[in-house]
Amino acid sequence: MRSGKDSYTIKFTTNFMPMLVVFALTGAFSVCSAQNDDDAFFIKEIYDYALTESDSYDYLEGLCAIAGPRLTGTQASYDGLTYCEGLFNNLAVDTTWRVYCDVPRWSRGDLSITMSVNGEPIKVRATALGNTEGTGGKPITGELVQVMHLDSLPYRDLDGKIAFFNRPMDPTQIVTYRAYGGAVDQRVFGASRSSKEGAIASIVRSIGSPIDTFPHTGVSQYEEDITTKTPGIAISTQDAEVVGAALNAGKTVTATINSTSHMLPDTTSYSIVAEIRGSEYPDEIILVGGHIDSWDLGQGAHDDGTGCMQSVQVLETLLGLGYQPKRTIRCVLFTNEENGLQGGKSYAKTSTDKGEYHLAAIESDGGGFTPRGFSCTAHPDVFIPMLKNLKAFEDVLNPYDLYIKNGGAGADINPLKPQKGLLIGLNVDSQRYFDLHHTSQDIIENVHPREFKLGGAAMTSLVYLIDQHGL
Amino acid sequence: MRSGKDSYTIKFTTNFMPMLVVFALTGAFSVCSAQNDDDAFFIKEIYDYALTESDSYDYLEGLCAIAGPRLTGTQASYDGLTYCEGLFNNLAVDTTWRVYCDVPRWSRGDLSITMSVNGEPIKVRATALGNTEGTGGKPITGELVQVMHLDSLPYRDLDGKIAFFNRPMDPTQIVTYRAYGGAVDQRVFGASRSSKEGAIASIVRSIGSPIDTFPHTGVSQYEEDITTKTPGIAISTQDAEVVGAALNAGKTVTATINSTSHMLPDTTSYSIVAEIRGSEYPDEIILVGGHIDSWDLGQGAHDDGTGCMQSVQVLETLLGLGYQPKRTIRCVLFTNEENGLQGGKSYAKTSTDKGEYHLAAIESDGGGFTPRGFSCTAHPDVFIPMLKNLKAFEDVLNPYDLYIKNGGAGADINPLKPQKGLLIGLNVDSQRYFDLHHTSQDIIENVHPREFKLGGAAMTSLVYLIDQHGL
């Protein structure tokens, strides 16, 4: 069942009458045709290619080995971009280009932290939060005050103290992204908001699912009205449990922090684009993408090496199968998602300035785990009919355990919303992601080849369906 | 929407008319009632309990630490049973008992194998296959002949040779269990069938997904008309690739095998059962279970420690939430699934002899990975209506990414089919299972706590729904 810009060709079978289905509720006139079989056959080819011929996992291994962690503005980030341009060239796409932008640049510097409970030293595993300023290489010492919610900050006496944000991710959220979304405000705004109340620094419980010893970094943001940019640090969840228990027991916890994190002047980076031009509707763009920058503790293997290489896999597969798209298929590897989003913003601006229209944009930025389907969002003017049309693809996607939901799509493609196309995120199994997200464990060894390639195959299949049938 | 033995109580809301839905196609009279919300609320409680209060992962850790690998008839297998009886007693279920049976007993003994290609030694990682006889402690040497299909055996000259079965699992199967099913005949019947053609031994490519160095054991079976029980050995997929390439290039590959594997006399073992008696329909049994025995290379953590402890989690959760079931809920930990299935057979026989009726039996034996839903099968007399009733539960299961399919249920519960209840298997993400299935890697460290407990929560939710509404 489909409805959309391209109506299905009605292929009459020997017994065609039961295949004619009228959707009274929507008023749309949809036809179940034999083309469903064509779709099923081609999607099977896509999956076979992914699981037997695709080199996408090798591409990811190369990215992790050659560039490694790709914090925006670092040499490694440019090495990663160069590596990916090489992949595009080898694939013999029609065109590749760069979209330049100014990007923030952050230096992690060095961090030392010592903590004690009632004067007894305790071990802590800590990492500086992205875009924060450190102590300028001079130690500061303060007593920790536990804060569970940003909203409760104005009621705490934080003058000269260190705010300790210790709200765990909600373990009862089945989809861990939701638990992340419910806890990450502490990391993003903890330093900023607590400094307004007189805190000299902030320490955040790592935004991670398990209780373990790996600190999770991630972006922190000083709001515009901040006068003092206080240090922001994350400690491992295990250490946070110890500190929280001590504070709950009325003990005194102090920390001495010495760090040299600081912002550097902005620099220039770029997103890279590769395109296969459409044969019938070249002005309708179907985008696939991920972000090429990453945090610096691991290799940015899952976040978002997998999304980038799955997007490359889409082109590799379509070209490998000799598929000529009707619409323009574009792969975009965005720069600077982690600590600025300048890649996504500049790409959307450039595109809109040129009068382009993205019929659909699919981002993979949830890790390279087994795909579960897609979630989508769009400008309210177009969302319901587009969602309905996407849902109609479930017939051929369900056999691959892929389901369509509404929900978020991706940070990099979100700025395309005013173009009124459908913004789609690859949904994957989320249980393991926040074990390693933004940690030293985000390395190639923790990316499972089949799970990763199945994600690329899912994206390729959806690109194919949208290309064939519109939205 | 439900239909079944228990009709829904119609709870009128202030605007009840639109809630009345008649299923013209089925003729069944189903009502969407507010009870859907009751179900949703209770299932949320089940998941919250699983993710915050359940000790099931600790139970699994205990099983792996205290008993370890639990090959049928070994002391460790009895230690495992004793440990689980302790869990049942601590949970304060209504009744526990044992179902005894005769079981085969196999001794792995020692294995040494050396191989060479054109006289040059190559490294091989090998393991004896379960229930096979070895060489009696005397070395045998032979040349390898590659065989890709059992069907092609009669056309090969195997006299005095070693049959080398080298057909990989089909990587294009999305669900890896299907690929396993398509390759495992080599392991089960390779020794038996090749011996009929004069082979002195058989070597099987490990039935595993990745190319790596871990040999996978598993059961092999000598058919009844076999006169010579030749040794059966598995080598790692990586070694199989090397050997296969050498043979394909026309090189001579020889192996010298010395092993002391052998069958011991049968002994007695038992499955254990724990029951919570139903208050309204005590004669309708809803079974949850897994198999307590395991292979001996790892710890039997996933296979099937997870299935056992998820089944215990079902009881733990229902008791922990103070739930009084209408029907009888029974947890069965079956003995001897891996190399005899005597636990499943004896349980079904005993049950049928007593005139019992299992309305539903749910087995978890696919690893403790993220649940994807349930597959089910039944006696043809009852299957379609029961499947339809199970499908009706999807409304409240879909939010947990659980879907109902038809398909296999579980080896241990299959003998219950003549009772004409619904046989259900927990479906889980299958991508990683055959990385570790029957290998040294099947250890607790490779079981993810959340993924595992979500499986138990899924089972508990389905037990609750069947208990409330019948099938």
Of B47, B174, B403, the CB nearest to A172: B47
Structure pTM? 0.92
Shared domain for B233 and B289, answered yes or no, is no
Residue A51 CB contacts under 8 Å (≥ 6 apart), including other chains:
A450, A453, A454, A457, B171, B172
Same domain, B328 and B449: yes
pLDDT bracket for residue A36 (50, 70, 90) = confident
Percent of chain B with pLDDT over 70: 93
What mean pLDDT value characterizes chain B? 93
For residues B125 and B235, state if they share a domain: yes
Domain membership flag for residue A2: no
pLDDT tens across A351-379, in order?
999 999 999 999 999 999 999 999 999 99
Interface test with A, best of B47, B172, B427, B433 (most A CBs within 10 A): B172
Give CA–CA dist A274/A60, Å, rounded. Answer: 17
Where residue B164 sits, what CATH number does that domain have?
A: 3.50.30.30
Asked if residue A435 and residue A320 are part of one domain, the reply reads yes
| Mean pLDDT (chain A, rounded) | 93
pLDDT for position B19: 28
A170 inside 8 A of chain B by CB: no
The reported pLDDT for the residue numbered A155 is 87
Number of domains in chain B: 2
| Helix, strand, or coil (residue B357) | strand
Find the mean pLDDT for residues B65-87: 98
What mean pLDDT comes out for the span A203-228?
A: 96
B119 & B80 share domain: no
A195 occurs within a structural domain: yes
Question: Could you tell me which residues are beta bridge partners of residue A427?
Answer: A373
Closest CA to B334 of B105, B130, B98: B98
Q: Which of A221, A238, A260 is the last residue of a domain?
A: A260
**Cβ distance of B448 and A454 shorter than 8 Å:** no
Does residue B407 sit at the A interface (CB-CB below 8 Å)?
A: no
ipTM of the complex: 0.91
Mark whether A280 and A212 lie in a shared domain. Answer: no
Chain A residue with Cα closest to B457: A174
Looking at the fold, whether B64 and B140 belong to one and the same domain comes out as no
Report how far apart, in Å, the C-alpha atoms of B356 and of each of A101, B328, B352, B402 are: 72, 11, 6, 30
Report yes or no on B78 lying in a domain: yes
CATH number, domain of B347, equals 3.40.630.10
Same domain, A274 and A256: no
In terms of CA atoms, which chain B residue is nearest residue A451?
B431
Domain termination site, one of A216, A233, A260: A260
Q: Is B24 on the interface with A (CB under 8 A)?
A: no
- If contacts are CB pairs under 8 Å, which of residues 135-164 in chain B contact chain A? none
Candidate from A48, A52, A448 with C-beta closest to B431: A448
Taking only the tens place, the pLDDT of each residue in B1-53 is 333 333 333 333 333 323 222 222 233 333 334 458 899 999 999 999 999 99
Size of interface A-B (CB pairs under 8 A): 51
Separation in Å, CA B269 to CA B20, B79, B217, B300, B304 = 53, 12, 22, 18, 17
Q: Strand pairing partners for B262?
A: B107
Of A214, A237, A260, the residue at which a domain comes to its end is: A260
Taken as a whole, chain A contains a residue count of 471
The mean pLDDT of B230-243, rounded to a whole number, is: 98
**Sign, Cα dihedral of A153, A157, A163, A164:** negative
Give pLDDT, residue B36: 81
Asked if residues A54 and A313 have their Cβ atoms less than 8 Å apart, the reply is yes
Task: Please name the residue of chain A whose CA is at the shortest distance from the CA of residue B454.
Answer: A174
Predicted confidence band of residue A304 (pLDDT cuts 50, 70, 90): very high
Query: Scanning every residue of chain A, which has its alpha carbon at the shortest distance from the alpha carbon of B50?
Result: A172
Residues B244 and B354 in one domain: no
Shared-domain flag, residues B311 and B219: no
Judge if A290 and A222 occupy the same domain: no
* Residue-number span of the structural domain to which B100 is assigned: 33-105+266-469
Is 80 exceeded by the pLDDT of residue A5? no
Quote the minimal CA–CA distance from B185 to chain A in Å. Answer: 23
**Do residue A181 and residue A282 come from a single domain?**
no
Each residue's pLDDT tens digit, A383-424: 999 999 999 999 999 999 999 998 999 999 999 999 999 999
pLDDT given at position A35: 54
What's the CA angle centered on A29, arms A28 and A31, to 5 degrees? Answer: 135
pLDDT single digits (tens) A331-341: 999 999 999 99
A453 and chain B: CB distance < 8 Å anywhere? no
pLDDT of residue B35: 54
**How far from the centroid of its chain's Cα atoms is residue A241's Cα?**
28
Confidence of residue B310 (pLDDT cuts 50, 70, 90): very high
Q: Is position A395 within any domain?
A: yes
A6 part of a folded domain? no
